[in-house]
Structure 1
């Protein structure tokens, strides 16, 4: 398995690198701030978010997931190799096991709020491509997050099935 992002994760990483990551530019700072504070319809009215939707081939039926993705990507300041759940857990977790369980069980706005806090607790750094792919396929990603949080390797067969 290659560590290079593929599919929707790669699209989201490219979008994040262009629109959010260059924090030294006023445009990136402003977009990030607007996305973090905006109501869902205002997020959808951002031309950059519509670019992301086109890149991911997301339509109106997935608008809620698109808003969630854009808002959470605006929280991340730095991408790296580690998945968010790994950064949150491990031998000295920055997010308690009980709070992690709450995050894993959460849905909708509660999930978005808990993930925002989790990103902040992870020093706003994680693997952006992996985070995006996980958000877009949250139900399939949850079991892997449990393995990642506790520092265990998920069985390779299961990971291959999740990425198909």
Structure 2
């Protein structure tokens, strides 16, 4: 199962975590009750808010397949590399401020992650996740969570900023 991926964040066979699932902290484990389930890849389709080229340029790997979840109005997007492994996922949540904040804290717990404040007005955190990184931010009732198989947080941050700009959140 994937760590929180944007409503925010894949085709054939079972999904493999991009970079592992962050270990829940006591705070995030307690706050995950009542949160929407982690999105799952449902079908092969274009991501409505990120192009393959944008993800390739930002994450530094060729994209060979894109899958999306059934979440609405913003499906989670799952981008795969040539060997079939998941390289990046994006989850976008829009709903309640409380849930948006808790989703970010679940992905990158405030107590253990590095602070994130990009784009301007968004707050959250980033931290290593398995063999990669998670970058998770919220603003008001919206949250964007990016998981990358790359260790450099700038790659996940760039994707988050591009998704936020495309969605005009």
TM-score by length of 2: 0.27
Structure with higher Rg: it is: 1
When normalised by structure 1's length, the TM-score is 0.27
More strand by proportion, 1 or 2?
Answer: 2
Give the structure with the higher percent helix: 1
